[in-house]
């Protein structure tokens, strides 16, 4: 963003305060001037423990500052005067800059910069100096690369002139002279870039290329300009409207401005704070959120500077140091005031000042604390994100909820504590609605983290707590938890489920822990009504399904009896729906049949399963099933005069079995049927015995079912060849015609048989059988079909003969050709 855009923005002052600095006296008035009231402090410089003070009577004072920290954490400074030096002018010492690499102090007095020794304050023997300087600054990002020199930038007494010098241990060398569009009043340097306060505006000037960039206007007649380098290629300026503006060397702002006083005198940087001085106060502003954080009353101050992280402020008579409180304490104070956002912003900003590993530990803890603050305010989404980011040991959260952690858990809360609450009751003040919301949040959070790395090492604690929450809330996810992979501790979980009467869920827990007998015992009690649990209305069917896939044969035998007593047709599924490999390996069908003998419906279904589904080819199973069908049919016929639906269904099943199976004892079944009205079944059995005349006679004369007779011929001749089928149809025709009576129905049945199945007859034999009085018109469809079939057969025979002759001719040609080739070769 450009500076013109920044200026237009409204930046309200922060109304909240935080104790970021403490003002501590460093040099008292008596140490500096004694009873000489006319002596005033004009400038200061600090390098390590060395403090230099320039006064209005042309003296330089050198002090050693000794920082002391009491056991209570209180910081004090003891200043020891080393010496003082009179420079011999009648003017004030207006600026001091230390060049520690050269052990030199640069002193500006009477427009002259003198090089003096830092230790004894004596001028260098060569008398090296820079004349004609109004003010000066050092380039903290030098371009020369020479470690044994410093780069100095001065505002010259020449109008609109800036000069660059290289200062060595005992000499100075001018490097560049730059002319500015207006008279400069303040300057800061970074590399080749000069940030200048001119008469009416601030500009960035590259003294190497001469390219300049206008920043924003200001009036030098109305206010004192401030130009301060705060970092690589970035400056802080006193802008219009009481704004502290940030500017890069590209002429843009990467930070929002801070809102300070209109009458600001000086500014200093102690990351993450900008400190400003006006006539009455020292104000502290955050560079992270641009809010004012602290205000310290301070009158008559006229100097504010920072030296290697140390912020020093001075009046005319004394020097003070702004001691920053540890960032961690500031953050904890913010958290104690529930100012979460400010605490997090400050914590993130502290990263550059704290070693990486230490910062990570500190920052995680801060995130966790902030998470609990948001949690206590029922800001669950924010709390969840903070817990995740801070990699919270989720047991810290679970421990707030009474009785959720397993009794075997060894968890101990963090010390110092992450929050101020003993438990959820204290946090919610007994408010049941809030408590319910907190429990709902914990359910959601535990469900999300249980399958992540957060759960590693204490999955039992998480899953057990989640089970307890689900059970207490009657939550549908309780069953999902127990039927999937889980780490619920059996003892704690079982007691809790029993307490909340979740007996079906308790059975699932037993099953997951390999205690199927206990699970089945519980479930059977529920179905029998001994205990109450309405979780599943279909629990009986569930138990049957459970037993179907149970590999413990003892349990299957034990509870299958109970299941069959409850419902034969459903209970038998324990055996009919078992996995095939389980049926083949572990359970003998004969044992099952023996057990099912007192349950006829179950027995029928199981034999149907063996015969029709598994297709087991054992005579005894097929015969047994047929006999059971017959017995059931006879039983139904004995109590009902009309054909009921059940009888019809059984007859259909019996006929299907008799038709499709070749494994039952035919004579045995036939003996049971003989003398009954099961004519169709008798016909099927005679057909199996190849006694087709008897079968067809029953169908035609007993049942008078001509369609069934035709179907009989078709299914009995399946996969038997054309001649076999023709033989059956000729038999049926003979049955129709050789009755000795002129039954019109039989005559019409014979005509329909011939006309509908002409291809199934030998026309020559048919013509010998039919009566002479039948007209050609009556047999027209049959004769047309017979002729068509005869012609088709003749033509197909001719084609086959022609193909054979052609194949024979090809063979002879190939043989003759091969013989000729052999003769030539020989």
Q: Which pLDDT does position 290 carry in this prediction?
A: 84
| 496, containing H or E segment | helix 490-499
pLDDT band at 34 (very low <50, low <70, confident <90, very high): low
Residue 764, both tokens: 């020559």
Q: What percent of the chain has pLDDT over 70?
A: 96
pLDDT tens digit sequence for 225-256: 999 999 899 999 998 888 999 999 998 888 88
- Three-state secondary structure call for residue 642: coil
| 482, containing H or E segment | helix 477-483
pLDDT surpassing 60 at residue 420: yes
pLDDT tens digit sequence for 348-357: 877 777 788 8
Q: Are 334 and 346 in contact (CB under 8 A)?
A: yes
pLDDT tens digit sequence for 796-806: 889 999 999 99
Helices (H), 739-779: 744-756, 763-769
- Rounded Cα–Cα distance for residues 22 and 767 (Å): 131
Closest CA to 3 of 285, 251, 375, 316: 251
Which residue bears the tokens 């007192």?
A: 598
* Ranges 31-40, 149-158, 455-464: which has the least confidence: 31-40
Cα 161–Cα 167–Cα 172 angle in degrees, nearest 5:
75
- Rounded Cα–Cα distance for residues 761 and 793 (Å): 14
- Rounded to the nearest integer, the mean pLDDT of the chain is 88
Q: Which pLDDT does position 740 carry in this prediction?
A: 58
- Three-state secondary structure call for residue 759: helix
Closest CA to 692 of 745, 753, 733, 737: 733
Cis peptide before 416 (omega within 30 of 0): yes
Read off the pLDDT of each residue in 548-569 and give the average, rounded to a whole number.
92
Q: Are 311 and 21 in contact (CB under 8 A)?
A: yes
- Rounded Cα–Cα distance for residues 684 and 692 (Å): 9
pLDDT tens digit sequence for 76-100: 888 889 999 998 888 999 999 999 8
Q: Which pLDDT does position 367 carry in this prediction?
A: 93
Question: For 58, how many CA atoms within 13 A lie in the half-sphere containing its CB?
Answer: 11
Q: What percent of the chain has pLDDT over 90?
A: 54
Q: Are 628 and 614 in contact (CB under 8 A)?
A: no
- Three-state secondary structure call for residue 237: strand
Residue 414, both tokens: 């963090």
- Rounded Cα–Cα distance for residues 265 and 277 (Å): 5
Q: Which pLDDT does position 700 carry in this prediction?
A: 87
Q: Which pLDDT does position 746 carry in this prediction?
A: 83
- What single-letter DSSP state applies at residue 334? H
Q: Torsions phi, psi of 114, nearest 5?
A: -110, 140
Q: Which pLDDT does position 413 carry in this prediction?
A: 92
CB-based contacts of 78: which residues, under 8 Å, 6+ apart? 65, 66, 68
Read off the pLDDT of each residue in 22-38 and give the average, rounded to a whole number.
80
């Amino acid at each position: 963003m450009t500076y013109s855009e920044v200026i237009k923005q409204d930046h309200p002052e922060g109304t909240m305060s935080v104790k970021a600095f403490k003002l501590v006296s460093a040099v008292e008035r008596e140490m500096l001037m004694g009873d000489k009231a006319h002596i005033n402090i004009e400038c200061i410089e600090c390098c390590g423990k060395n403090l230099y003070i320039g006064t209005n009577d042309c003296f330089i004072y050198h002090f050693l500052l000794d920082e002391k920290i009491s056991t209570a954490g209180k910081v004090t400074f003891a200043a020891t005067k080393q010496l003082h030096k009179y420079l011999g002018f009648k003017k004030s010492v207006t600026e001091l800059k230390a060049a520690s690499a050269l052990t030199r102090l640069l002193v500006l007095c009477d427009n002259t910069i003198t090089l003096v020794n830092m230790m004894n304050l004596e001028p260098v023997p060569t008398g090296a100096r820079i004349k004609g300087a109004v003010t000066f600054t050092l380039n903290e990002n030098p371009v020369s690369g020479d470690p044994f020199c410093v780069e100095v930038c001065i505002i010259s007494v020449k109008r609109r002139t800036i000069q660059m010098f290289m200062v060595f241990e005992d000499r100075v060398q001018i490097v560049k002279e730059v002319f500015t569009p207006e008279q400069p009043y303040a300057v800061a340097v970074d590399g080749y870039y000069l940030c200048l306060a001119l008469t009416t505006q601030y500009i960035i000037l590259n003294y190497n290329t001469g390219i300049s960039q206008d920043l924003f206007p200001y009036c030098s007649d109305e206010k004192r300009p401030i130009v301060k380098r705060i970092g690589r290629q970035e400056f802080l300026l006193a802008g219009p409207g009481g704004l502290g503006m940030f500017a890069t060397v590209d002429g843009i702002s990467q930070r929002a401005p801070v809102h300070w006083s209109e009458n600001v005198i000086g500014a200093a940087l102690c990351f993450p704070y900008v400190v400003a001085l006006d006539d009455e106060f020292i104000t502290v502003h955050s560079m992270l959120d641009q809010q004012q954080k602290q205000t310290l009353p301070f009158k008559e101050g006229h100097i504010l500077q920072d030296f290697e992280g140390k912020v020093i402020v001075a009046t005319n008579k004394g020097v003070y140091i702004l001691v920053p409180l540890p960032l961690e304490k500031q953050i904890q104070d913010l958290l104690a005031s529930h100012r979460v956002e400010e605490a997090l912003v400050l914590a993130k900003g502290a990263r550059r000042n704290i070693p990486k590993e230490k910062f990570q530990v500190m920052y995680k803890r801060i995130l966790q604390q902030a998470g609990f603050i948001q949690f206590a305010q029922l800001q669950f989404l924010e709390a969840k994100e903070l817990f995740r980011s801070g990699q919270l040991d989720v047991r810290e959260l679970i421990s707030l909820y009474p009785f959720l952690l397993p009794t075997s858990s060894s968890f101990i809360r963090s010390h110092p504590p992450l929050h101020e609450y003993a438990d959820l009751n204290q946090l919610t003040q007994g408010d049941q609605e809030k408590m319910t919301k907190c429990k709902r949040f914990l359910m959601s959070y535990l469900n999300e983290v249980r399958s992540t790395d957060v759960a590693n090492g204490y999955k039992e604690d998480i899953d057990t707590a989640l089970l307890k929450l689900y059970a207490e809330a009657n939550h549908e996810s309780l069953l999902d938890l127990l039927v999937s992979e889980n780490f619920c501790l059996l003892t704690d979980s079982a007691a809790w489920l029993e307490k909340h009467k979740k007996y079906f869920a308790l059975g699932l827990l037993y099953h997951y822990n390999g205690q199927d007998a206990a699970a089945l015992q519980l479930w059977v009690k529920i179905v029998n009504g001994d205990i109450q649990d309405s979780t599943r209305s279909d629990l009986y069917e569930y138990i049957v399904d459970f037993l179907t896939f149970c590999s413990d044969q003892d349990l299957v035998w034990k509870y299958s009896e109970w299941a069959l007593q409850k419902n034969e047709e459903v209970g038998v599924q324990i055996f009919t729906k078992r996995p095939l490999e389980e049926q083949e390996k572990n359970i003998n069908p004969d044992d099952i049949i023996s057990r099912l003998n007192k349950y006829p419906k179950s027995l029928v279904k199981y034999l149907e399963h063996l015969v029709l589904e598994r297709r087991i080819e054992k005579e005894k199973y097929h015969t047994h099933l047929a006999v059971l069908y017959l017995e059931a049919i006879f039983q139904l016929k004995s109590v009902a005069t009309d054909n009921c639906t059940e009888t019809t269904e059984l007859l259909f099943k019996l006929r299907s079995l008799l038709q499709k199976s070749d494994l039952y004892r035919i004579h045995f079944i036939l003996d049971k049927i003989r003398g009954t009205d099961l004519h169709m079944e008798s016909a099927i059995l005679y057909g199996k015995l190849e006694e087709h005349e008897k079968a067809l006679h029953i169908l035609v004369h007993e049942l008078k079912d001509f369609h069934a007779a035709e179907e009989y011929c078709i299914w009995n001749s399946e996969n038997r060849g054309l001649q076999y089928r023709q033989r059956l149809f000729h038999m049926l025709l003979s049955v129709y015609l050789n009755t000795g009576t002129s039954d019109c129905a039989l005559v019409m049945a014979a005509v329909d048989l011939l006309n509908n199945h002409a291809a199934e007859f030998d026309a020559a034999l048919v013509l010998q059988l039919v009566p002479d009085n039948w007209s050609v018109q009556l047999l027209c469809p049959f004769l047309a079909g017979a002729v068509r079939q005869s012609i088709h057969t003749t033509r197909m025979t001719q084609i086959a003969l022609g193909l054979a002759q052609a194949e024979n001719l090809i063979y002879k040609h190939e043989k003759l050709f091969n013989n000729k080739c052999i003769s030539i070769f020989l």
